[in-house]
Amino acid sequence: MKFEIDRKRWLRGEGPSLSALLRKSDGKMCCLGFKAKALGIADADITDKGHPRSTRNCEQWCDIAGLDRAAVFEKLSDIYNPFMMVNDDGCVKDTKREERLIKMFADIGDEVTFV
């Protein structure tokens, strides 16, 4: 999947307690919020949600056929927790953060560009 992250709307470096897939207060999105939009997930399903497993249709995030709910949560955590850590880390410069996220997304088959 290809998608873009708009730096003007990108929520990053504020720590996990202030992050969200789509933050209602200002419309900013973490890196995974931009992926959610590319997956076709509605704003209402990601607004003020902190993790893909918190979304209503969490099966849209990855191939989870045949997994029970606990296994789905574990798989989504295994895949996406590292993205959240990089995105939310307040001690990482944006250039380094972008480099890391580009590689991490590539590792799961996504091509992301920052605009």
Distance (Å, whole) CA 4 – CA 14: 20
pLDDT digits (tens, 9 = 90+) for 71-105: 888 888 899 999 999 999 999 999 999 999 999 99
* Residues 28-75: tens digit of each pLDDT: 999 999 999 999 999 999 999 999 988 877 777 776 667 777 888 888
pLDDT at 54: 87
pLDDT for position 2:
97
The domain spans of the chain are 2-114
Q: Which two tokens stand for residue 28?
A: 């900013």
pTM: 0.92
